[in-house]
Amino acid sequence: MSNASENLKDRVRAFWQANPCGTKFAEAETGTRAFFERVEEHRYRTEWHIPGAAGFDEARDLRVLEIGCGLGTDGARFARAGAIYTGVDLTEAAIGLARRRFELEGLPGEFRVADAEALDFADESFDLVYSHGVLHHTPDTRRAVREVHRVLRPGGRAVVMLYHRDSYNYRVNIGVLRRLGAHLLRTEAGLRLAHRLTGESLDNLREHAARVRRDARGYLSSDEFLSRNTDGAGNPLSRVYNRSEARELFSDFAEVEFAVHYLNKRRLPVVGGLLPRGLEARLASRWGWHLWIYARKGDNSGT
Ligand SMILES: C[S@@+](CC[C@H](N)C(=O)[O-])C[C@H]1O[C@@H](n2cnc3c(N)ncnc32)[C@H](O)[C@@H]1O
């Protein structure tokens, strides 16, 4: 691996180590039972499509590997449904919390710190590899997808969520609105106005503002802007994929299908809160932020 890629991986690890995914949505002491309950309640209230899209209830007796398990919220759903569950993540923080989450509920599961790009599992070890919102954050996504393919048994399935390029969030919110909003961050009054308009925390907006002041051109470059405007201003790397890019990424697999979910109502001021669920689901299936990829490894071959 090149030095640049290694350095980026270190920054990715440091960011997620300091900001375990989902913790900001729970106002309870991290690692307590109340904390995990709130994380879970928030997750399936705001991303209510996940249980159906992930297929937790169909995973009984399957050997499931989750890559980038975060706090183990989806992992617990797999384990409760009777899957033989293994969770890996790049950070000690996530693995410590996910393990604790399983212990509190007495759920069976294996955990280890591991890098998606170089998994420490034998070929063909799993029936299902699941990864939600992870592989677009690793420097070499292609290498990680090759690892998904390698550890799956012939006929095994991958269920992977990546950020969606042809989405409202990417095309309109990040591509236009947040870009215009970045200019507000040049003054304190503008920053406060952005806070009122978006509900985004002043701390996060100040971090964006500091980046605009330091290097506006670099910050506004499309790759950098995308990364800083998905999972927090400190996030060093995010990518987006459309269907054909994802199809190409998963070209080693015998079959690939897609579904699109999640309108991310936090990014739809006012209107978001008023949408009935049926309409929200219809809009999300076209303009949603989450591209779900369902890929099956060929039965006998390398595909
Ligand atoms: C946005 S969070 C998603 C966590 C969880 N899957 C969820 O949906 O809540 C991204 C997670 O991916 C992990 N991650 C990033 N790069 C990784 C890599 N190369 N290998 C394993 N995990 C990685 C991070 O540590 C972090 O826990």
Inside any domain, residue 233: no
The alpha carbon of residue 273 and the mean position of all alpha carbons in its chain are separated, in whole angstroms, by: 23
Which single residue is written with the structure tokens 């039972």?
A: 33
Asked if residue 301 is part of any domain, the answer here is no
Residues 143 and 271 in one domain: yes
Same domain (yes/no): 216, 174: yes
Atom index in ligand 1 nearest the CA of residue 22 equals: 9
Q: pLDDT in tens for each of the 303 residues of the chain?
A: 677 777 999 999 999 999 998 777 677 899 999 999 999 999 999 999 999 999 999 999 999 999 999 999 999 999 999 999 999 999 999 999 999 999 999 999 999 999 999 999 999 999 999 999 999 999 999 999 999 999 999 999 999 999 999 999 999 999 998 888 888 898 999 999 988 888 888 988 999 899 888 888 888 888 999 999 999 889 999 999 999 999 999 999 999 999 999 987 666 666 667 788 888 899 999 999 999 999 999 997 555
Measured at the CA of 235, the angle between CA 233 and CA 240, to 5 degrees, comes to: 105
Q: Per the structure, how many domains does the chain have? A: 2
The domain that contains 142 carries what CATH number?
3.40.50.150
Burial class (CB in 10 A: 0-12, 13-18, 19+), 61: exposed
Verify that 137 and 73 share a domain, yes or no.
yes
Q: What is the DSSP letter of 257?
A: E
- Does residue 42 lie within any of the structural domains? yes
Q: Residue type for 17, please?
A: Q
Q: What residue type is assigned to position 282 of the chain?
A: R
Q: d(Cα 145, Cα 248) in Å, to the nearest integer? A: 11
Residues 75 and 172 grouped into a single domain = no
Pocket of ligand 1 from Cβ distances under 6 Å: 12, 16, 21-22, 67-68, 70, 89-91, 94, 115-117, 132-134, 137-138, 231
Q: Which of 166, 88, 174, 193 is nearest to 134 (CA)?
A: 88
Residue 135 is part of which domain span?
Answer: 3-165+240-296
Is 303 a domain residue? no
Length of the chain (residues): 303
User: 89 CA to middle of ligand 1, Å?
Assistant: 6
Task: Give the predicted TM-score (pTM) of the model.
Answer: 0.94
Cα–Cα distance between 74 and 86 in angstroms, integer? 12
Rounded distance, CA 303 to CA 297, Å? 6
Q: Encoding tokens for residue 108?
A: 């069976």
Looking at residue 131, the DSSP 8-state letter turns out to be: E
Q: Which residue among 5, 95, 120, 134 is best mutated to probe the pocket of ligand 1, counting the most ligand atoms within 8 A of its Cβ?
A: 134
Residue 199 lies in a domain: yes
* Residue given tokens 């759903």 in the structure block: 77
Taking a C-beta distance cutoff of 8 angstroms, is the pair 207, 235 a contact? no
Token code pair at residue 193: 């106005």
